[in-house]
Chain A
Amino acid sequence: MNSATLLHHQQPHSYVGKRQPRVEDEALLRGLGRYADDLAVPPGTLHAAVVRSPHAHARIQRVVIEAALQIPGVRGVLTGEDVKRWAAPFPVGVRQPMEHWCLAVDKVRYVGEPVAVIIAEDRYLAEDALDAVEIEYDVLGVSIDPEMATNDDASVLHEAVGSNVVNDRYFNYGDADTAFEQAAHRLSLKVRYPRSACTPIECYVVLGQYDPAEGGYDVMANFQGPYAIHSVMARALQVPANRLRLRTPPDSGGSFGIKQGVFPYVVMMGLAARKVGAPVKWVEDRLEHLQGASSATNRVTTIEAAFASDGRVSALRFDQLDDCGAYLRAPEPATTYRMHGNLTGAYDIHHLQVRNRIVMTNKMPTGLNRGFGGPQVYFALERLMQRIAVTLDLDPLDVIRRNLVPTEAFPYRCAAGALLDSGDYRRGIELGVEQGGLEELRQRRESARREGRHYGIGYTVAVEPSISNMGYITMAQMPEERRRAGPKNGAVSTATISVDPLGSVSVHVSSTPQGQGHRTVAAQVVADVLGISLESIRVDVELDTGKDAWSIASGNYSSRFAGAVAGAVHNAALKIRARLDAIAAQQWQVSVEDIRFGEGRIYTADGVHATSFQRLAGATHWAPGTLPEGETGGLRETAFWTPAELTAPDDDERINSSLCYGFIFDYCGVELDSLTGRVTIDRYVTLHDAGRMLNPQLVDGQVRGAFAQAVGAALYEAFHYNEDGSFASGTLADYLIPTTVEVPDPTILHMETPSPFTPLGAKGVGEGNNMSTPVCIANAVADALGDAVEPGAIELPLTPSKVRMLMGIEEPPRPEGVAEESAQASTGGGSKLSASDSVEIPASPQHVFESILDPDTLKAMIPGCHSLELTGDNTYRADVTVGVGMIRARFDARVELTELEPPHSLRLSGAGKSGMGDAAGAAKIRFSEIEGGKTRLDYDYEVTVGGKIASVGGRMLSSASKMLIGQIFSRLSQRLSGSTSKGSLWQRLRALTGKRGGDQ
């Protein structure tokens, strides 16, 4: 670690590590920021408006632009025809025949997809002409739900691929099969993580220009990187990279990953400028942004753990289905692999199996979003850890403690290849418990519960990866494909420091910040190394690919600034200092070791020689003849830095997906309003170890910002699509971002375990709470709701209506003197509905059939079944709690299995009575054998309810029944896939495809 070097040179007045107010603020507070839409445009600039698809999936028959061109002020329309003539589709991260162009050329695949660009004298006129473009669509069927999109009969988005599943990979680390076979317990949980986005308040802005003389494009955009995407844009524009000059403005109004998604518009506006022969500016509006900019990837995860009776987990299995929307837009499927090396979280778990599938649906394409892959992984992993504790009747915190990576194990190599650089997780837990007041929170829960209130505590531990390995994205490829393509790895960061003839210092970093205070931190680092005042340093964060030092990892993402970019700044400053050391040593005839920098002066330790920094540095310009031999004159140094630890994926599929891994321990207490279902966060404690903190004020700012966004993701925000693919979250009145009254002030705790791998010992800290907080709140809500709620039903966002539904209404006690009635099904007079569905079960029809006849299996299948008593031939009396809508009731029911035709079909029926009404249901189940020794169960069911339960209305009843019946069969599936006698589902899947991940 180089921080020893820094400490050696540390000045009496040091900036790094202090709560230094920001140099950015002075201009921003005066309204003098220079954001993309504030900058002057060249004379004659025209303005663009984008015509977007109203359909989720349709073939474009005709685009007629004549009427639009007749509108006064309209100067041109860019269409798919132009794009096909001048551009190419964007390169895609997986080897599949699928094309994504900056404008739709043949089909539209999501609502809001750009189809044409109106170019007019001003933005108002351009928008006027939007409706005048006539587009004939041939509307196609849609795929919206990611699981249904994988079905054979699903509507396929990219026909040439032949399926919506565009990537399917298996990984095997250690010997999970054996660990699962030998484990005392195993538990599986299926969860869905929804779509949301961090929605910066400034939308996209692009100013495109085309120079026909050079055949090049010059585009200003509030792009955030990664600059690997510059290659994607240049290839789409069919120009060498030096003919795409991409510039960013001095200020950017937030991004959180989202402004990576501006890149298709960079290409689009370059082409628009070419079309009209004038500069073209486009400012995205909020409605466009919400429906078409970018979204986090929604994921369906089935996670399974093998564990001992003390809660120690020996193996994990992840089955992750990632819905990347209509196109696999670069850098996707990076969401899936960003966390790959550290999928085992903060835990010491040696055996791991992973299946990752990428599915296309008729939704807006996904991209970077703060937390990127983390919230999805931790929602599955930490919900599972909570379930393990509940199942074993242990304290969740004890289960966490027992599984943590031991302190003495760092640097720790995770099963899938992450090298956890440093940490002391156990101490982190103890600090968090003590300083955050966990004991008090427990007492509050106890007293709340005594009063009958719904109060719960949730816990999460997480490692927060930062400084992505540019090679992790290639994990979507098979090892052979990677070998053929050549290794990809590393994360080059750059910084340039110049000292001008008057000795003032300018710093340039290629980190394109959007409010994180990079200018302040870079100045802190340089001020310390060169012993000059922070105020005297000017830091420039604009990036011009035509002039500045940059590389593919440039840009602002994967929390790379503090660890990587500030480190490069430090290295560049050390280079400047080394040159000045040598000049001073020669001038004064002293040793380099005797030279000191401080208070704007350069002097010898003994105080004999001294001069001002400006004078000595200026000499490199004014008097190069006096300099030591080898000193070139002028004073400008660029440092490139990439960490050696970020190697390419190996043949065993291990990947150190990030350089640094911070540690987070969160817990919170929440209360549920029993009337409205509103979740109130009573207290939220978040402990961070992000290595050495360069500016604690900015660290807290990052934690608070991420926390607020995570509260939104946990409780309010979701991009909702209707069944036909129409977008239902199109305004900020539909997409609910939390305000001051919804975001509590979290208790923030810190510890510092410096990273041995970064120049300053710092790690990233910007994304942690986006990863840890959603699941921590969900765990607290789960704790508050208690065991009656199906674990998989706890889905984000936990809106009041959803929580209220989960809480249910408890059945009132039977009034005294009312005799117990015998269980009799009601006939007629209630709500009735019928439907059919199907499910696949990983066992043979015979086995499935027999299992249903087994009373133990039957009891396990029925959700909320307290007891099941055999009363006759395949006839039972059951005591069951069932929730329909908000009503929860305990039924005395008769359950029967009839019409047995083994192993082809049977009839499962039940009827019962409760204080809340009565219900009867029957399902005709047919068993058919399908590929891979599995069984497909087709069932038609009919449900009749009467009494209070029926008052919930047909629609809710329909969805509740569907869920209830679905639960019956998923429980059956889970129970049968849990039996190891016929080999695990995993083994059979692997045998089926013949694919293997890396064995030990």
Chain B
Amino acid sequence: MYVRLDERYRVTLTLNGRERSAYAEPRTQLCDFLRHSLGATGTHVGCEHGVCGACTVMVDGRATRSCLMLAVQVEGRRVETIESLAKEGELNDLQHAFRGHHALQCGFCTAGILMSCHEFLGRVMDPSEAEVRDMLSGHLCRCTGYTGIVQAVLAVARARQNNRQETP
């Protein structure tokens, strides 16, 4: 797609299972587009230089820093944010585990952390604590000291593993 700096483009994507579109400049960051043009304010912006991980979303199934991606890059693609996790109004197992393990306090970094964990648990069935910590090391959390987050992810992995064994 060829773009001009001073023009706005209609960007159409599938956001959390629904087709959405809005105008964006070529330089509009994906995080700003999601939050301010599409109203998906669950995704948060912490550093705008790719370190803190708060703005992580899934683009075509891969965890992605939305501050390091432009809105025009998601044209025609599938984006999932934290708002997609609760199914039919119910928190999913990962969200429940976060609550149960006191894995969040201010909740600001949580959106990105949940998306990374969501992707990770879909790809690693039986992770060790070291693997979970390594995955989470792309996120900064200032409130929790991480213990609850690590415990929540391990608990979900174990529970899913048990479910799989019970229902082969």
Contact = CB atoms under 8 A, between A and B. Distances in A.
A203 B142 CA distance: 12
A29 B43 contact: no
A30 B42 contact: yes
A200 interface: yes
A161 to B, nearest CB: 36
Interface string B43-55: 1111111011010
B138 to A, nearest CB: 8
Nearest to B84: A31
Contact of B91 (A30, A285, A700, A705): A30
A286 B47 contact: yes
Interface of B: 25, 27-28, 35, 40-49, 51-52, 54, 81-83, 85-86, 91, 95, 98-100, 102, 104-111, 114, 132-134, 136-150
A38 B86 contact: no
Contacts of A515: 104-108, 143
A741 B134 contact: yes
B51 A731 contact: yes
Interface string A29-60: 11111010110000000000000000000000
Contacts of B138: 739
A791 interface: no
A718 to B, nearest CB: 16
B107 A705 contact: no
B142 A256 contact: yes
A764 to B, nearest CB: 16
Interface in A251-300: 251-254, 256, 285-287
B116 to A, nearest CB: 11
A183 interface: no
Given A708-B144, A741-B137, A745-B147, 8 more contacts: A21-B100, A25-B104, A30-B42, A33-B108, A201-B108, A733-B49, A739-B140, A740-B146
B150 A709 contact: no
A37 B34 CA distance: 13
B51 A733 contact: yes
A701 B141 contact: no
Contact of B102 (A22, A26, A124, A709): A22
A37 B134 CA distance: 30
A737 B105 contact: no
A619 interface: no
Contacts of A253: 44, 46, 106-109
B25 A124 contact: yes
Contact of B48 (A256, A285, A707, A737): A285
Contacts of A202: 44, 46, 106, 108
Contact of A705 (B41, B49, B143): B143
Given A31-B81, A124-B27, A698-B102, A704 B91 contact: no
B137 A740 contact: yes
Q: How large is the interface on A (under 10, 10 to 19, 20 to 34, 35 or more residues)?
A: 35 or more
Contacts of A526: none
A707 B145 contact: yes
A704 B144 contact: yes
B81 A198 contact: no
A705 to B, nearest CB: 5
A697 B104 CA distance: 12
B106 A731 contact: no
Nearest to A737: B140
Given A29-B91, A732-B52, A740 B106 contact: no
B142 A709 contact: yes
Contacts of B35: 37-38
A30 B85 contact: yes
Nearest to A285: B48
Given A28-B110, A285-B48, A743 B145 contact: yes
B145 to A, nearest CB: 3
Contact of B44 (A201, A704, A709): A201
A337 B99 CA distance: 38
Contacts of B104: 25, 28-29, 515
A500 interface: no
B17 to A, nearest CB: 14
A851 interface: no
B102 A701 contact: yes
A177 B107 CA distance: 52
A819 B108 CA distance: 68
Contacts of B145: 704-708, 743, 745-746
B41 A38 contact: yes
A30 B110 contact: no
Contact of B42 (A32, A199, A254): A32
Nearest to B100: A21
A24 interface: yes
A944 interface: no
9 contacts: A29-B99, A29-B110, A32-B83, A514-B106, A515-B105, A515-B143, A705-B105, A708-B144, A732-B51
Given A30-B42, A740-B133, A201 B140 contact: yes
A516 B107 CA distance: 10
Contacts of B99: 21-22, 25-26, 29
Contact of B46 (A286, A708, A731): A286
Contacts of A26: 91, 99
Interface in A706-759: 706-709, 731-733, 737, 739-741, 743, 745-746
Nearest to B110: A28
Contacts of A698: 102
B83 A516 contact: no
A127 B156 CA distance: 43
A399 to B, nearest CB: 30
B142 A737 contact: yes
Contacts of A517: 105
Contacts of A199: 142
Nearest to A32: B42
Interface centre among B85, B107, B150 (most CB of A within 10 A): B107
A741 B150 CA distance: 11
A127 B15 CA distance: 29
A515 B143 CA distance: 8
A700 B102 contact: yes
> Which 8 A-B residue pairings sit nearest by Cβ, starting from the closest?
A31-B42, A515-B106, A253-B108, A28-B107, A704-B145, A31-B82, A515-B105, A708-B145
A286 B51 CA distance: 11
A732 B140 contact: yes
A202 B109 CA distance: 8
Given A701-B102, A708-B146, A733-B51, A30 B86 contact: yes
Contacts of B137: 739-741
A732 B47 contact: yes
A701 B144 contact: yes
B49 A286 contact: yes
A201 B51 CA distance: 11
B83 A24 contact: no
Contact of A254 (B134, B142, B147): B142
Contact of A743 (B91, B109, B146): B146
B143 A30 contact: no
Nearest to B108: A253
Contacts of B42: 30-33
B35 to A, nearest CB: 7
A705 B108 contact: no
Nearest to B133: A740
A36 to B, nearest CB: 11
A705 B146 CA distance: 8
Nearest to B46: A201
